[in-house]
Amino acid sequence: MQERINAAKRILIKIGTATVTQGAKLNQSFLKQKAQEIALLIKAGKEILLVSSGAVAAGLEIEGKAIRPRDAFSLQLLSGKGQIRLMKYYKDNFREHGIQVAQILLTHHNFNNADEFENLKRVINAYIKEKTLPIINTNDVLTKEEFAAGTSSLFSDNDDLAALVAESLDVGLLLILTDVDGLCTDNPKVNGNAQVVDVVEKVTPAIEKMASREAGCYGKGGMLSKVRAAKRVAAKGIPTIVANGKHDIADILSQKVKRTVFV
């Protein structure tokens, strides 16, 4: 499996809210560090797609608020404001490495409509060819499914979105960065004896039960959504790594730190 990971040329990196934020604000030092790590991958010949959460947290930062509202409409308003700030941070950080970025905001309609879907693939592939980094997020201003409880939408959080993009764009590896070391035998934030599961060869009901359903204060997904995203892309032959975003991406890819690999 490590040989497949090393050989993966096109990698989709998903950065979750728990990693991109510090309290109710965007973690600027984290963004700066990840930009440097991703830039090194691009310069080494890897084709990178980035799915990034954080727009709502950025909106809270702009408004000077510390508590995430519960209603979908307020979250949409925050996301619209915050997306601009989130992209500015990415643009400024990647510019230091000579890399341009492009914002791509998606809804489920872009995948359900054949013409839109083909155009989406054409645009992303063109950006990758010219070494522009596509930064993808849900278009929360136009769709509220991500904020709605019990939604049956095509994707209800950015883990789902990352899996959908990965299987659509011939990605060789999905890397999901979160705030824990991987899938654990129990919730590591509650049980200090929880152990990281190194490899998951098949996502079974027992594995899904093991995954924590708890999400952080500023995000929606939990480990369960990451496990289900890994299950989805595994059906297309795409491996997934879930790892702690505090680690260097190169160290995660080369197995120098704890991680969970879904085959």
Phi, psi of 83 (to 5 degrees): -60, -35
Residues 6+ apart with CB under 8 A from 64: none
Mean pLDDT of the chain: 92
- CA–CA distance, 108 with 105 (Å, rounded to integer): 11
Residue 217 — pLDDT band, cuts 50, 70, 90? very low
Phi, psi of 139 (to 5 degrees): -85, 85
Residues 6+ apart with CB under 8 A from 165: 12, 49, 51, 106, 124, 136, 171
Query: Of 103, 213, 111, nearest to 155 (Cα)?
Result: 111
Rounded to the nearest 10 degrees, the angle between the axes of helix 158-168 and helix 223-234 is 10
- What's the confidence (pLDDT) of residue 41? 98
- CA–CA distance, 81 with 124 (Å, rounded to integer): 24
Comparing 39-48, 65-74, 229-238, which segment has the lowest mean pLDDT? 65-74
Contact 76, 146 (CB under 8 A): no
- What's the confidence (pLDDT) of residue 148? 60
CATH number at residue 107: 3.40.1160.10
Residue 30 — pLDDT band, cuts 50, 70, 90? very high
Question: pLDDT at residue 152 above 80?
Answer: no
- What's the confidence (pLDDT) of residue 146? 60
- What's the confidence (pLDDT) of residue 149? 53
Question: pLDDT at residue 203 above 50?
Answer: yes
Report pTM: 0.93
**Residue 149 belongs to domain spanning:** 2-262
- CA–CA distance, 33 with 134 (Å, rounded to integer): 18
- What's the confidence (pLDDT) of residue 186? 86
- What's the confidence (pLDDT) of residue 187? 82
Q: How many domains does the chain have?
A: 1
The count of residues in the chain is 263
- CA–CA distance, 75 with 105 (Å, rounded to integer): 16
- CA–CA distance, 217 with 27 (Å, rounded to integer): 15
